Each structure stands twice: as C-alpha cells, then as structure tokens.
Structure 1
Amino acid sequence: MALWQCDLRVSWRSQLFSLAVHGILILLILLTPWSSAAWGIWLLLLTLVVFQAIRSQRRISARHGEISLLEQDRLLWRKREWQIKQPVWMIDCGILLSLKRERDNRGWRRFLGSKRLKLWLASDSMSKEEWRHLRQILLISKNNGIKDRHHPL
C-alpha cells in the first residue's frame, strides 16, 4: 500500500536555476582576462561547462513520471523499488532523497544502471496538495525517527 503517490512533472524552477548557474559560469569564463597562451584551458573550461549544462537539463527533464512512497522507507520509481538510505533533506522548495536500489533478480540487467540515486523532488513538480502531503509524511517519519536512531527518515 502506498502512503503517497504522485505523477511528477518536469520542474521549471530547477531548469531555470540550472540555466542561471551554468550561464553565470560561462559568463565568468568568457569575461575573465586570459593570456593568449591559455586559450586551450579557456576552450576546455568553456566546453566542459556547456556540456555540463546540457547534461543537467537532460537529467532534470528525465525526472518525471509515476512515483510512490511505500511503507518501511521504500520508494517505487520507474518500476523499481528503492530504499531511502540517508536522512531526508527538506527545504521549502524541494526534498532530496538518497536512494539505494532494492535487489534486482533479473540476471545481467542488475549490473546495468546505478544502484544509488540522489532524487530531487521539487515543489513545482507536483500539485500543492501532493507536496503538502509528502512533506507531512516525511516530517512525521523524521520526528518518529528521533526515538529510533536506525530510522533513515
């Protein structure tokens, strides 16, 4: 039984924040005075930041779909079960979950893909009601976890 479930949308705030950070870095690289001997370093830095910006936008765009919070600190995401491993980090605009994939008994497929995942759930990727409900569940679990130190939430 799911304690909470949602159909996540792509977070436009996360996309704008990522674009702003990478844009500032690109501007700093472009506006910093470089010697003519350091053009290779300049080009390498600029290329790395541009590709990192593209990678970041793709990763943010990929964070959508059905997600469910299950009992016993488990999460169902992309048809796989994940265990919440570290304390949940919450701020007003998002929640960071550190996840570890549950056992996968599908032979060679278990070696493909990451076994750990940091999942950022932005507040604008779901409705206000879903956001409030998720925060309420996690805050209650976190407060109960004070008594039990082995509880990751």
Structure 2
Amino acid sequence: MALWRCDVRVSWRTQIFSLVIHGILTLLILLSPWPENYGLVWVTLITLVVFECIRSQRNIMACRGELVLQSGLHLRWHKRDWLIRGTPWMLKSGILISLRQVGGRRTRRLWLAADSMDQREWRSLRQALLHAASAQQRHDR
C-alpha cells in the first residue's frame, strides 16, 4: 500500500539556479585577469565548468518519474526499491533524501523541489515524511 504517490516533474527553479551558478563561475573565469602563460589553466577551468553544468542538468532531469512512498521509510523510484537513510532534510523549497537501494549497496541523494509537483502533493509528501521520521525516532528509543 502506498502512503504517497506522485509523478515528479523537472524542477524549473532548480534548473535555472544551476545555470545561474555555472554562468557566474564562467563569467568570473572569463573576466579575471590571467597572465599570458596561463592559457591552458584558463581553458581547463572553462571546460570543467561547462562539463559540470551539463552533468548538473542531466542529474536534475534524472530526478523525474513516478515516486511512491511505501510503508515506513521505503520508496519505489525508477523501478527500484529504496530505503530512506536518516532524517530527510526539509526546506520550504525542497527536500533532500538520502537513499540506499534495498538489497544492494548503491546509495543516492534525491533532491525533490517544491515546484516539481502540485502543492497538494508537496504538502502530503512533507506530512508523510515527517510522520515516518517521528515514528522511526520513537522506534529507535
């Protein structure tokens, strides 16, 4: 039985934030005074920032899909079962969840932005995670 279910969309705010940060870094590298013999360092830094921006955008796109919060601290995401490790970090703008794949060693951190789902789904997820975390704390005592 699912406590919560949602089709998570791409977060436009997260994408824009990532692009702005990488754009600022690129501008700082481009506008900084570089000695003539530092051309290789300059090109390397620009290349690293561009590839990190691409990687960041791919990671943001990978966070979409159906997400199901099952009993307790179990999630079903990308056709795999995951266990929530620790207490999720909750902000008004998003939730950071540390996951460990059930029956495996693979771990992942999942950022769920508030704008990636409807407000009703967002409130319901926060409430379900708070309830599951408090139940887990009572069980650990």
TM range (shorter): over 0.9
8 Å CA contact 2:5–2:66 kept in 1: the answer is: yes
1:118 is aligned, of 109, 118, 124, to 109
Question: Normalization by structure 2: what TM-score?
Answer: 0.94
Alignment gaps of 5+ in structure 1: 105-113
Aligned ranges 1:141-152 → 2 under 5 Å:
141-149=132-140
Specify which structure has the higher proportion of strand.
Answer: 2
Which region of structure 1 is more displaced relative to structure 2, 18-27 or 54-63? 54-63
> What CA RMSD, in Å, does the superposition of the two structures yield over aligned residues?
1.5
1:136 is aligned, of 120, 127, 137, to 127
* Alignment match, 1:12: 12
Alignment gaps of 5+ in structure 2: none
Specify which structure has the higher proportion of helix.
Answer: 2
SS of the equivalent of 1:37 reads helix
**Shift >4 Å, 4+ stretches:** none
Is 2:118 the counterpart of 1:127?
yes
Question: Normalization by structure 1: what TM-score?
Answer: 0.87
Equivalent residue pairs, number: 141
Q: How far did 1:146 drift?
A: 4.0
- Distance in 1, matches of 2:113 and 2:31, equals 32
Which region of structure 1 is more displaced relative to structure 2, 74-83 or 51-60? 51-60
- Calculate percent identity across the aligned residue pairs: 50
